[in-house]
Structure formats: structure tokens, C-alpha cells
């Protein structure tokens, strides 16, 4: 492979294997944390469930693809 194509190949590799990670805190209208709140990620194109998670005791979650 020519050295001039190497950077493009590496960029494509990292983009194609990128993962989306979302994290945060679920709260109610009084800013109190919500325990065991269900969070889901749905693919907008396919309408399929991609990932799901429940918030912890402090309302924190980490949603990974």
C-alpha cells in the first residue's frame, strides 16, 4: 500500500469502529435523582433497539453502544 493512502485508511478505521457512549444523571422536576429509570437507545434508521440501561441509586447511567 502506498504511504499516501495510509492516513486515509487509518481515519476510516477509527471512524468505522467508533462507539457512542452516553452518560449522565436522570432527575425529576425538583432535581432529585431517579433510581432505576429505564433508558433506551433506538436506531433512527432501522427503528431497532441498540442499547438499554437502568440508572443507579444516584440516578447515574452509562449507555454504551
Structure-block grid coordinates of residue 48: 431497532
Q: Where are the beta strands (DSSP E) in 1-65?
A: 21-25, 38-42, 49-54, 60-64
Q: How many Å apart are CA 49 and CA 17, to the nearest integer?
A: 19
Domain parsing of the chain, residue ranges:
19-64
pLDDT at res. 53? 92
Q: Per residue in 18-62, pLDDT tens?
A: 567 889 999 999 999 999 999 998 888 899 988 889 999 999 999
pLDDT at res. 3? 61
Amino acid at each position: 500500500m502506498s504511504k499516501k493512502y495510509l492516513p486515509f485508511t487509518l481515519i476510516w478505521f477509527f471512524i468505522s469502529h467508533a462507539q457512542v457512549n452516553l452518560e449522565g444523571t436522570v432527575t425529576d422536576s425538583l432535581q432529585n435523582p431517579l433510581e432505576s429509570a429505564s433508558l433506551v437507545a433506538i436506531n433512527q434508521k432501522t427503528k431497532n433497539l441498540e442499547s438499554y440501561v437502568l440508572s443507579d441509586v444516584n440516578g447515574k447511567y452509562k449507555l454504551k453502544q
